[in-house]
Structure 1
Amino acid sequence: PKCDVNFKSMIPDLIHYKYDPRSLAIGDFNDDNWPDIVVVNYAADNIAIYFGYGNGSTPCVVAVGDFDKDGRLDVTVSNFGTNSVNVLMRFQYDFFANQTTLSTASSRPIWIHATYLYNDTAIDIVTANYGTQSASIFYGHGDGSFAKPSTYPTGFDSFPLAVVSGDFNNDNQMDLAIANYGTNTVGILLGNSNGTFSKQSTLSTGPNSHPYSLAVGYLNDDTVLDIAVTNHGDQNVEVLLGNGDGTFRKQMTYSLGAASPYSVGISNFNRDNRMDLIATSNGTNNIIVLLGYGNGSFGNLILYATGSYSTISVAIGNFNRDSRLDAAVINSDTESIGILLGLDDVTFENQTKYPILGSPICVAVGDFNSDTRLDVVVTNTNGNTLSVLLGYGNGSFSNQMVYTTGSYPQSVAVGDFNSDTRLDIVVANMGNNTVSVLLGYGNGSFANQMAYTTGSSPQSVAIGDFNRLSFKRSVE
């Protein structure tokens, strides 16, 4: 049966700081079965992790994963200012023991993505490089170290902002999709069986559309992956339905009125087994939900007030264990995180806001201390740091723990890079063109960073198993 979803607002007394939070993600970082939140604070140059208590009281890129296979979640962050990616691993005793920095040269990495792209049990990293208009892949060795990057151009003046992965042509090889803000296209790089990628093919999103972010999911129930795109310039959300051969067709665009969208997510909010869309916006003091019909089309906009003029990022999770999906949003103008708890009629309670230190820009989630509760990691652009907040499992989080990254960290991703079953962190550092890897100890702490050089201006990073190989590659 179809169940509607509502959210209610819980607003505590606030302490206001000009932290300018930009992005967040959700995960169980301390293994307590409660979702936690990680936030990037753009102005304060750090990331913050709020550990969840499970009662809904929880307060722009990072990613999480077990990079060293020690059973503990690690974190990866992209650093725009230092052109690097950080990986934080071996989280124990409330800190990360190891941190690795991967240089991206002058690439200005702005987005980072971590996933298994080559099926060799070692997580790999992908960065979207704003400075060199390219995407770089760091193949993982499975011990927390990485090979020198393989870089693929995304086109002159493409200025890629985001990258996601999926098998778009059903050949059991992972492919990449890239939001090219400058050239108004979505770029597709199809994966080959030898760990390389084909030349980018592009799909136009329209003149001056400026695609900003991407999400991948099954939007029309045909077992073929589809893509949802936020177009910042056209102020709409666009749905691209997959044909199953690596090509896509435009299904429809949905105008957001005066709102300029940033992030987009895919989830089933009303429990009807059909995927819905959620988007953050700038200029309208709300977030937007579009309920899916299961055929690739969506209903009218449903707006939820955030009290913020610039809500730029959103993450979805069940923060209070009531079987309803909740939302966490980044409010950059009020420098806060808002928690909106889901109700039963596709609505949300009024949000509870939590102030955020610094200038967060990206967020990821994972269980960093093996307590089955989701924790949060956030990159802080101006402070050259990332913040980890351990979740309590009831919707609340512990105080943040701060780790040094490269210069101007952007995106962060999480995975097990050294095959120890513990999650590690990787960061794209745009300022010094590096990638930082921090190995997790499995207790919520991470090791000092290890750095790897990239191309120019890496801004985004992703992880995945791209090469399906078990041998090691040389690491810089």
Structure 2
Amino acid sequence: MPATFGTATTTLVESEPWELSAADLNGDGKLDLVVPNTASNSLSVLIGNGDGSFRPAVNYPVSSSPISGALADVTGDGKIDIVVGINGAPSLLAGNGDGTFQAAAGIAGGNALQSYWLRAVDLNADGKLDLAYTNFGPNQLVVQYGNGDGTFGTGALYSVGNLPRAPAIGDFNHDGKLDIVTANSGATSVSVLLANADGTYQSQVPYPVGASPYSVATGDFNGDGNLDLVTAALNANSYSVLLGRGDGTFQPALTTAAQGNSNEITVADVDGDGKLDLIIANSSANQVGIAYGQGDGTFSAWQTLPTGGGPYTAIAVDLNGDGRLDLAVTNRVSGTVTTYMQSTPPTLSITGATVVEGNSGTADAAFVVTRSDTTGSPTATYTITNSTTDGADFGPGFQATGTVTFAAGATTATINVPIRGDTLYEASETFTVALSNPQGATISGTGQATGTITNDDAPPTVTLSGGTSIAEGNSGTTVVPITATLSAVSGLATTVTLAFGGTATQGTDYTVSSTTITIPAGSLSGSVNVNVLGDTAVEPNGTATVTIATATNATPAGAAQTVTIQNDDVSYAITASAAAVAEGSSGAGNAVTYTVTRTGDMTQAGVATVRLSGEATRGDDYSTTLPANGQINFVAGDASKTFTVTTVPDTTVEPNERVIATITGVSGQGGATIGTPASATTTITNDDQYGVSITATDASKLEGNTGTTPFTFTVSRTGGTADAITLAYAVTGSGASAADAADFGGTLPSGTVTIAAGQASTTLMINVTGDGLVEADDGFTVTLSNATANATIVQSTAIGTIRNDDQPPYTPPTAPTAVADTGSVTLGTALTKAAPGVLANDSGAGATLTVTAVNGQAANVGKALAGAYGNLTLNADGSYSYAPDFAKAVFTGSVVDHFTYTDTANGQTATTSLDIAVAPPSAATLALFGTVVTNPASQTGGIYGLYTALLNRVPDALGLEGFSAAIQAGSDLTTVASALLGSAERGGTVSDPTTYVQGLYANALHRTADAGGLNFFVNELNAGVSQATVAVQIATSSEAQSLNTPAFQRGVFVTDAIDAGVARLYYGLLNRSPDAGGLGSFEGLVKQAAASGAAAGAIQGLATVANVMLGSPEFAATHAGQTSAAYVDSLYVGALGRHADAAGASYFGAELAQGVSRATVALQIVESAEAQVHLVGVIEQGFQLTA
């Protein structure tokens, strides 16, 4: 029977743990673990608490790349020591006897390059522990005999197969001497070395097995007293069993499939049945597998348990002292140890069943099988045997044997045996149901139960019918007949005595015509009447339950009959304190009280459900104390309950809107109804006005010499756009030099201007007549008046300036004058300073002023010039623009971009400066989009380092966002490195290990690899460590982090993928940047969904946001009545910045036609790679928000 295990527990060790070992290191009688950590060059010692848990790991530094650790007293002081197999000679950590160890010291005399896989055994039976380990690179087995004091003799070298690993030791030929076998991972074989009488070993004998055997173990798998071999083949995903002949030779391998890449295989009797089982760590499947021994050299199918990332070694030991073997697994990728405690299998018991056979058809005898706990999925075989029964007693569908299973979480399962009915009067009969062959459980006691078939053929049965539910009414009586019916006609009269009970009161709520029913001989039935008495009292529903007390000449059967007397005397109604209320323009708003009143019995609790409807929108136009579910709870004694509706003041002109409160349902009180009035209405009346203003748009211009020049003014409004507004305008001269009628062709302009319904503004043009007169600049004022639509004129005037463009007499040129300027800008926005800007503050009287140099670079107006933090463009009209460069962004404080420029005019130059302060967005804004990271040792630092090491550049915003989200979802840096290695930008695989490592050093550390580092990482790659793992080690090294520190001191911004996804929905659906409140609320909703549902939860959360936007008034105002084609095109324009191409329009149009929701189509478009790239400048690098 397979063993059962509890929940996995994970214990943190260091980087890339390999072959773990178990022993009582501190003499407390509890097993402890020792784990070599290859990548961190350390040993983790986990002291056991005796309950399967461990104290935090204590880590001991050792030499290069430790793989295995043998736990034994090699110094002869009675204390457990650790001998470590490494990339070099073995190291000894002498034990102190308390679970601590002395510093690692090398063991001399081995004559080996590596000692990766090491075993400590008394090979020559002298009472002193010896060492046997694989010299990995030279393909040798090394044997060093111990001196008993922690030192060892000179190593003897024996040739074995290619890249030997994980030796196993045992007496294969029954000569009393220990023999050795190695797994040759670079070949398809294991090597067997038999011991000689003089302590040496014979030459290897290879045996073929599966490809890349990573380990070998030995044990007697078929019970013949001879040791057998089993090996796990990594690349073949299989294991091979070689049965021993007892003379040191083995039968050909029998190969069986394993689960995922098979690393080390170990042997133990996991389920305690006296037969050895196999345990394999399956690295690609991230699981440990157990194949249970059948005692004949074969094994069961795999029982698998999940582990951490990249499991390497699994052992079965008793970690909690309960006498059962538990599991401990090292996870190389995760840097953890996973443990499983073996639990006691449940027991199964069965109870008997008795069934009345009936006269026809079938009835089930239900045998209940109970398990002692609900863990696992146990099964058992059941077998039915007759005793006094005849086979004819079993009905259709009868099965003499079958399997009983349990539903998930169920304590019991039922075996239904169909029993055939008949009319034969006979004695009761019995049969037996027996359980056998349990899986995942044991059987309690004999596992048998008896079924009894009870005869029922004399006398007939009598049953009652007529139970019903009926309203009591307000007066009179309502008759409900209750009928007694025999199963067969009887030759004797049958008397049925009735008993009456229930919650109704006999005599008050009902009466009965008789308490007995007499059925004459030859008849099948008789009846009595239950007379329901009507009343007007509000009261609970009542029941009159009729049962058979006794019966003569019949056997009572069937169910009791219940007459439910429904109370129908309570109702609910609703009223409002005001039929209309003004919305208000500011302050707390105006409140209306709604009262829900019930009439009838107040002694019970009840619930009235109220729904709010009407043109007014909850949240936008009003707030309310009515719960979101609309339920108003009445407790006993409550005659009425109230809630309030309070207007939300605004300044928007809009129609009057209604709030309609309707009782849609009542519950919790029998007979409750919705009374009159069932609804109440309050109208929120609009009390706002439009505000109108005029501003000069393009109203300071040269007059020209002939014709007319249009001067432009903008007339805009506030308070909405529902109505058209018409205003009068008039032009008058103003200022020191007032314009007159001659400047406008002889008449000062006047007239009307209209802002159309649906428009927020309109343009008013005033035409100025050109002339050739040298004169001062003239001023004029445009004045608005007489607004329609009850609008208020907020700004009634705007000023225009007619600039003279007629040349005065020639003035000799002078040298230019340059003036220093300053500006400021926030990261994510651009600074544009209109004339007068930089050049307009300078002068070059009599000649054109030009820019010849900026920061020492040759320059001219209109050319973009790179500064320390952004790009500057100077224009000939005196304006300039400056755009911060996101790649040079500083998020930890403001910086100043300093420009020195030179003006040239009239053959002369002048030099001055422009300082632009560049500040990061506010902390609140940044928090809406992501996080500023300042620690190069963080996960963000790891991604940053991998981009530098593998792509020789800093990460782009989208890449950093995507990989950060993946890590938050449970991925790791090794997976990120694998993705970058496989990217098109990487440009293919570098197969040569030296070239690959030198490239990482050059990119990440800006230097050539030193000999020690190069040798270490090349050896790792040759030993099978992945390129991704080596990249992570170098990219996250302290040297790489130090080089990346300046970037993190400036702050590295990591956009939150969920925040960005919500922002893209704003652009796609609402065609605008998000507002801070909406973005914060929506991203919180999506993150809550992601917390409970991971990636699928996040997608569902985004779909919810899309549906909310689709149902918003803002979307309705701009997309109402939109066809599917127009909807798809608007998504393209908002999210991709272009109209839909034919293929895209066709594809998404077809989806919508087939019933795919608009929210789903929106997510497909806004989450596309094209949308992410198109919007990166306003989201990940722009932080754009709508005020």
TM-score by length of 2: 0.28
8 A Cα contact 2:69 2:84, kept in partner? yes
Q: Does 1:239 align with 2:246?
A: no
Give the drift of 1:22.
Answer: 2.2
**Does the 8 A contact of 1:4 with 1:343 survive in 2?**
no
User: What's the RMSD between the two structures over aligned residues?
Assistant: 2.3
Deviations 1:230-287 (A, max 9, x none): 1112111111111111111135322024x01111111111111111111101111211
Match of 1:223, SS state, is coil
Would you say 1:120 and 2:118 are equivalent positions? no
Partner of 2:6: 8
Distance 2:103 2:68 in 1: 22
In the comparison of the two structures, how many residue pairs are matched?
338
- Once the two structures are TM-superposed, the CA of residue 44 in structure 1 deviates from its matched residue by 1.7
Distance 2:14 2:149 in 1: 39
Is contact 2:109–2:152 with CA below 8 Å preserved after alignment?
Answer: no
8 Å CA contact 2:9, 2:340 repeated in 1: no
Structure 1 residue 159 corresponds to structure 2 residue 163:
yes
Q: Which amino acid aligns with 1:138?
A: Q
| Residue matched to 1:143 | 149
In the alignment, the residues of structure 1 paired with residue 30 and residue 128 of structure 2 have an alpha-carbon distance, to the nearest angstrom, of: 27
Q: CA deviation at 1:137?
A: 0.9
Instruction: Indicate if the aligned counterparts of 1:251 and 1:296 stay in contact, CA closer than 8 A.
Output: no
- Other-structure match for 2:250: 248
Structure 1 position 125, deviation (Å):
0.7
1:320 and 2:326 aligned: no
Task: Choose 262-271 or 140-149, whichever is displaced more.
Answer: 140-149
Q: 1:107: Cα distance to partner?
A: 2.4
Q: Secondary structure at the match of 1:283?
A: coil
Per-residue CA deviations over 1:304-328 (Å, capped at 9, x if unaligned) read 112x341111122111122221111
Equivalent in the alignment of 2:51: 55
> How much has 1:103 moved relative to structure 2?
5.1
Amino acid at match of 1:139: Y
1:31 and 2:27 are equivalent in the alignment: yes
The residue aligned with 1:134 is 140
CA contact (8 A) 2:288 2:306 kept: yes
Q: Does 1:289 align with 2:287?
A: no
Report the CA distance shift for 1:263/1:345 in structure 2 as closer, same or farther (over 3 A). farther
Q: Return the alpha-carbon distance in structure 2 between the equivalents of residues 18 and 48 of structure 1.
A: 7
Matches within 5 A, 1:34-433: 34-58=30-54, 60-80=67-87, 83-92=88-97, 94-96=100-102, 99-102=105-108, 104-105=110-111, 107-155=113-161, 158-206=162-210, 209-250=211-252, 252-257=254-259, 259-306=260-307, 308-345=308-345
Contact kept? 2:109, 2:155, Cα under 8 Å: no
The one-letter code sitting in structure 2 at the alignment partner of 1:174 is L
What amino acid maps onto 1:266 in structure 2? V
Between the aligned partners of 1:46 and 1:68, the Cα distance in structure 2 is 21
User: Between Structure 1 and Structure 2, which shows a larger proportion of helix residues?
Assistant: 2
AA aligned to 1:130 is: F
Query: Which range is displaced more, 246-255 or 339-348?
Result: 339-348
Tell me how far apart the structure 1 counterparts of residues 223 and 132 of structure 2 sit (CA, whole Å). Answer: 28
Deviations 1:9-37 (A, max 9, x none): 1557x87x872222311111111111111
How far the C-alpha of 1:105 sits from its partner, in A, is 4.2
Unaligned runs of 5+ residues in structure 1 are 349-406, 409-476
Distance in 2 separating the partners of 1:53 and 1:313? 22
3-state SS, counterpart of residue 48 of structure 2: coil
> 1:176 & 1:10 partners in 2: Cα distance?
34
The 2-side partners of 1:295 and 1:341 are apart by: 28
**Contact 1:220–1:296 (Cα < 8 Å) also in 2:** yes
Which whole-Å CA distance do the structure 2 matches of 1:54 and 1:92 have between them? 17
Q: Is the partner of 1:197 in helix, strand or coil? A: coil
- Alignment map for 1:428-439 (pairs within 5 Å): none
CA displacement 1:418-448 (0-9 Å, x = unmatched)? xxxxxxxxxxxxxxxxxxxxxxxxxxxxxxx
| Alpha-carbon distance change, 91 to 78 in structure 1, aligned in 2, over 3 angstroms | same
CA-CA distance at 1:92 after TM superposition: 5.0
Structure 1 position 90, deviation (Å): 4.6
**What SS is found at the alignment partner of 2:182?**
strand
Q: Distance in 1 between matches of 2:153 and 2:14?
A: 39
Distance 1:111 1:191 in 2: 20
Q: Distance in 1 between matches of 2:127 and 2:295?
A: 33
SS state at 1:109 partner: coil
Contact 1:34–1:53 under 8 Å retained in 2 = yes
Residue 278 and residue 345 in structure 1: after superposition, are their counterparts in 2 closer, same or farther (change >3 A)? farther
Conserved in 2, the CA contact under 8 Å of 1:5 and 1:324?
no
Bigger Rg, structure 1 or 2: 2
CA contact (8 A) 1:25 1:314 kept: no
- Deviation of 1:100 after TM superposition, in Å, equals 4.4
Does the CA-based 8 Å contact 1:4-1:344 persist in structure 2? no
The higher relative CO (CA closer than 8 Å, separation ≥ 6) is in 1
Tell me which protein shows more strand as a share of its residues: 1
**Distance (Å, rounded) in 1 between the aligned partners of 2:143 and 2:266:** 24
Say if 1:171 and 1:106 are closer, same or farther in 2 by CA, change over 3 A: closer
Shift of 1:170: 0.7
Q: Distance in 1 between matches of 2:283 and 2:104?
A: 37
CA distance in 2, matches of 1:18, 1:118: 36
Alpha-carbon offset, residue 78 of structure 1: 1.3
Judged with a 3 Å threshold, the aligned counterparts in structure 2 of structure 1 residues 226 and 98 are, in CA distance, closer, same or farther, namely: same
Q: Contact 2:132 / 2:142 at 8 angstroms: preserved in 1? A: yes
8 A Cα contact 1:227 1:242, kept in partner: yes
Q: How far has the Cα of 1:43 moved from its partner?
A: 2.2
* Equivalent AA in structure 2 for residue 9 of structure 1: T
Partner amino acid, structure 2, of 1:65: A
Which ranges in structure 2 are unaligned for 5 or more consecutive residues?
57-66, 347-374, 377-1014, 1017-1187
Residue 21 of structure 1 aligns to which amino acid in structure 2? P
- Structure 1: distance between partners of 2:295 and 2:32: 30
TM-score by length of 1: 0.67
Cα separation, 1, equivalents of 2:317 and 2:123: 25
1:188 Cα deviation (Å)?
Answer: 0.6
**Counterpart Cα distance in 2 of 1:267 and 1:226:** 13
Query: CA 1:51–1:114 in structure 2 vs 1: closer, same or farther (change >3 Å)?
Result: same
Aligned partner letter, 1:86: S
How far apart, in 2, do the equivalents of 1:246 and 1:183 lie? 22
Distance in 1 between the 2:153 and 2:112 partners? Answer: 18
Q: How has the CA–CA distance of structure 1 residues 221 and 205 changed in structure 2, closer, same or farther, with 3 Å as cutoff? A: same
Summarize the Cα distance change of 1:90–1:304 in structure 2 as closer, same or farther, 3 Å threshold. closer
Greater CA deviation, 283-292 or 54-63? 54-63
**2-structure distance, mates of 1:89, 1:179:** 29
Structure 2 CA distance, aligned partners of 1:88 and 1:11?
28
Identical pairs, percent: 29
Partners of 2:138 and 2:251 lie apart in 1 by 28
